[in-house]
A and B are shown apart, each in its own frame.
Chain A
């Protein structure tokens, strides 16, 4: 032990195998993180949020109709304050009921979930769910 210290490699754990493993993990993490970020810098073209809404299965909860909604951002920038509006239209195209919710943030390529409540049965009407707007954080 004393000899090891005396060699000039001051750290007591200078040449241990675990140290090299830890350093290898650190190097891999550093490369993956900076690599991913720089890849995004090169390929990212600053496209505004492109948001798609996917409605889930309609269920009833205490007499109201619930529709889960999944939103995905296909653009390359984060949308904040994303307003999602669901509308029920009758045969003549008149809006008979409206429901909405707002998402704080929708990062690029990420998916967030929310839900809409309707008093009328969406099965009897034409349902449309669409994102109406966003702002940049």
Chain B
């Protein structure tokens, strides 16, 4: 009797979780869903690149569930199940919204529709998983997980969150022509200045995260130089690699010289670095 009740309750809670996940998927994927450059990328971008993006996203979702999810145990199977459920929510959301907004219409080939949905599922699944785990924490009466993190911040987790923030922001901005245009127009000196500005802003975020997490001032507070190397520089490295990967995935480097590749990457890395730094503060 009690077991049946428990399982019914578990099902109900999961359904509530799914509804929440749908909300998260919507918030995270709407900006991209309503950008026509992204619809075009859905059919013309390289199939290998799109397959790679999907295959890279999935382990990231599992890791996200692992690092941000509200389970106290480190059960990888559970994380995989959560990541799959989040992916399902994102795909269903895309399947419903594409025909409704006539982004997928009669006459579109299967390949075209799959491409659009595959692209849309990436930010959607991130949003769904964040909503499943993050908003779920509010329902948990004990905040033990969060406190546990603040006492023992894990360096890989921090780097992962930066990667996620960078990925999300660059996914949103890389499809637009403007990244390439700005990159083409910037003189090398300006690119250099943009790198400095990105680093400074990132460090400001890093510093404020440290400040927030510090309950006991003066007790083992890491020095500025160490913070700068460990978080800002390492984070910016992750940001650059993420921007490079996304731009390559979207075919933005085709027929472009090495200097422009660097310039465009630096341009995209600017918002991506803010995303990376802010992700640590928010999540």
Contact = CB atoms under 8 A, between A and B. Distances in A.
A108 interface: yes
Interface string B104-127: 000111111011011001000000
Interface stretch (B68-76, B194-202, B220-228, B272-280): B68-76
A30 B47 contact: no
Chain B at the A interface: mostly helix, strand, loop or mixed?
helix
B162 interface: no
Contacts of B73: 8-10
A107 interface: yes
A19 B80 CA distance: 11
B107 A30 contact: no
A113 B110 CA distance: 17
A25 interface: yes
A14 interface: yes
Interface in B72-114: 72-73, 75, 78, 80-89, 91-92, 107-112, 114
A108 B11 contact: no
B70 A22 contact: no
Contact of B108 (A10, A13, A110): A110
A11 interface: yes
Interface residues of B, number: 50
Interface in A1-56: 1, 4, 8-20, 22-27, 29-30, 32-34, 36-38, 40-41, 44
A16 B14 contact: yes
A108 B109 contact: yes
Nearest to B53: A37
Interface string A110-133: 111100000000000000000000
B10 A15 contact: yes
Nearest to B3: A4
A93 interface: no
A110 B112 contact: yes
Contacts of B9: 1
A26 B84 contact: yes
A70 B237 CA distance: 49
| Size range of the chain A interface in the assembly | 35 or more
A16 to B, nearest CB: 4
Interface string B16-46: 0110000000000000000000001001100
A111 B68 CA distance: 44
A26 B69 CA distance: 18
Interface of B: 6-7, 9-11, 13-15, 17-18, 40, 43-44, 47-48, 50-51, 54-55, 58, 69-73, 75, 78, 80-89, 91-92, 107-112, 114-115, 117-118, 121
Given A1-B6, A33-B117, 11 more contacts: A1-B9, A10-B78, A12-B10, A14-B71, A23-B80, A26-B89, A33-B114, A34-B55, A37-B115, A41-B47, A77-B44
Interface of A: 1, 4, 8-20, 22-27, 29-30, 32-34, 36-38, 40-41, 44, 77-78, 80, 105, 107-113, 136-137
